[in-house]
Amino acid sequence: MTIKLPQNQKIVFETISPTEEKTFDQISEETNLKFEYISGASFALEEQGLISITTHSISEFSLTDEGSHYLQHSLPELRLYEAVRLLGELGTKFDLSQAIDQSSLDKNEVSVALSNYARKDYGTINQGKIVSSRDFDTQSDPEQVALTSINQGTEIDQSVIARLESRGLININQLTKRSIILTKKGASERKKGVQISESITSLTPQMLSQGNWEHLEYATYNVEAEAAPYIGGRVHLLRETAEKVKDTLVGMGFQEMEGPHVDSEFWINDCLFMPQDHPARTHWDQFALSVSPAQNLPPDLVKKVQSAHLDGVGTDGDGYHSPWSEAVALRVGLRGHTTSLSMRYLSGQAIGPLEPPQRFFSVEKVYRNDTLDPTHLLEFFQIEGWVMAENLSVRDLMGTFTEFYRQFGITNLKFKPHYNPYTEPSFELFGEHPRTGKLIEIGNSGLFRDEVLRPLGITCDVMAWGLALERLLMLMYGFEDIRDVHGTLCDLQLLRSTGVSY
Ligand code: PHE
């Protein structure tokens, strides 16, 4: 009896070879059938013992931007080595700074060069001096050679792959490839010929109304058959992380604030005891809007804020001794921080007067007229927060940050004293970049001054902060340029493959 197979299986069965393995991709190309059909048909044929499937796992390598750069310009440590050799004899001590000048490496490249020079045993670097201690051909450096091989798709020295990956010079993509070959049983069945089976893959309304559905033979589905990767839409990593931040803060007992992106300078700056002639209040920093001035500011509060600016608060208070004009306070712009929301809430204007203890947060966009670079955008998400309670101290702030960041796997925070017109004491927060080891600033914080709190009618302490969500992402996922996740230069592969863990 000749064997009966559904159409796709018949095509695959007749295409494959008894002597030479073919991959799903090859067969898909030869038969013009989609990859997923080949995969489905192959698994069904394997189940019947007609073919056998072999699975190969394959690593594909590609150069990162940095890798491509070194492909062209040579690895920094090699350039440093060459520079030292140009300075003079093997074994001679030269000034490190002289070698660096000679090498024309840029700042980042210098730190890469320094950390690899001794590791590769080119020589030693000690107390500002550098020595080259062996003679070799830089062209034959195994890591440099591997960059070329990867670029050309030729055989790669496997022993340097892990190192190149940890240096961030290559991406490794693990693929599973399957190939198939005819079995003995398959070959003898094929000799006898193959018929198309009448089994059907979809039921039509006609089959149902005519009643013949009962007598038909149905194709079985193989739900484990491999399909081509499906790249669908997904929530952006930044939004996803913002949600996790919100959940985390809610878990720590905070409530969410909301409020306008466009606001009066009164809420953005004046309530925060920012003098009206402060440099951060110019167009160099803030985006002003050419719209009519704000209305409906609470007149009592305006008076108290004005008096804090002019005369300070309390008996021994002092103000700025510079003019304060309501017209400036009424100007409207894009908020440069969400501390404007904190002011609206603390003043009682947002949801009514608040009694301590209270904890509030927001994770919202802010806008600054910065220069675009790897760590600055013109807009970013700020994680704003404050706690209102009796007897707060810097220890409470540090503890809150330690607890918050711990939930994102960040445990090596550093704190640095800082100045803000509105907090005293103040400190900036730093975290270590997981890849480069550099400290990056991730936030700013402090305890609000009396000059801020008194006009708002608050007599207890308020500790507060603004953290950058994008910087938190950098620490969590190890990318080095904010533009990897934002805008036209974003790294789609990173955005597709990185998920937030809860
Ligand atoms: N507004 C500050 C900033 O944008 C953050 C901050 C908020 C600092 C509250 C102290 C208190 O950097």
Mean pLDDT in order along the chain per 10 residues (502 residues): 86 92 93 91 92 92 94 94 92 92 90 89 90 89 94 89 93 91 93 84 88 82 77 90 97 97 97 93 89 95 97 91 94 97 98 97 95 85 98 96 95 96 97 91 97 97 97 90 86 85 65
Question: Does any ligand 1 atom lie closer than 6 A to the CB of residue 83?
Answer: no
Q: Are 131 and 85 in contact (CB under 8 A)?
A: no
Tell me how far apart the alpha carbons of residues 276 and 287 are, in angstroms, rounded to a whole number: 15
Q: Are 123 and 130 in contact (CB under 8 A)?
A: yes
Q: How far is the CA of 387 from the centre of ligand 1 (A)?
A: 13
Tell me how far apart the alpha carbons of residues 415 and 403 are, in angstroms, rounded to a whole number: 14
Mutation pick for ligand 1 pocket among 445, 452, 463, 470 (CB with most ligand atoms within 8 Å): 445
Q: Nearest C-alpha to atom 4 of ligand 1 is from which residue? A: 337
Expressed in percent and rounded to 5, the helix, strand and coil fractions of the chain are: 40, 25, 40
Tell me how far apart the alpha carbons of residues 338 and 268 are, in angstroms, rounded to a whole number: 8
Q: Nearest C-alpha to atom 10 of ligand 1 is from which residue? A: 445
Question: Does any ligand 1 atom lie closer than 6 A to the CB of residue 103?
Answer: no
Question: HEC string of 148-194?
Answer: HHHHHCCCCCHHHHHHHHHCCCEEEEEEEEEEEEECHHHHHHHHHCE
Residue 160's contacts (CB-CB under 8 Å, 6 or more residues apart) are 142, 143, 146
Q: Are 33 and 26 in contact (CB under 8 A)?
A: no
Q: Nearest C-alpha to atom 8 of ligand 1 is from which residue? A: 445
pLDDT attached to residue 244? 96
pTM: 0.63
Question: Does any ligand 1 atom lie closer than 6 A to the CB of residue 269?
Answer: no
pLDDT attached to residue 4? 87
pLDDT attached to residue 502? 61
Identity of residue 321: H
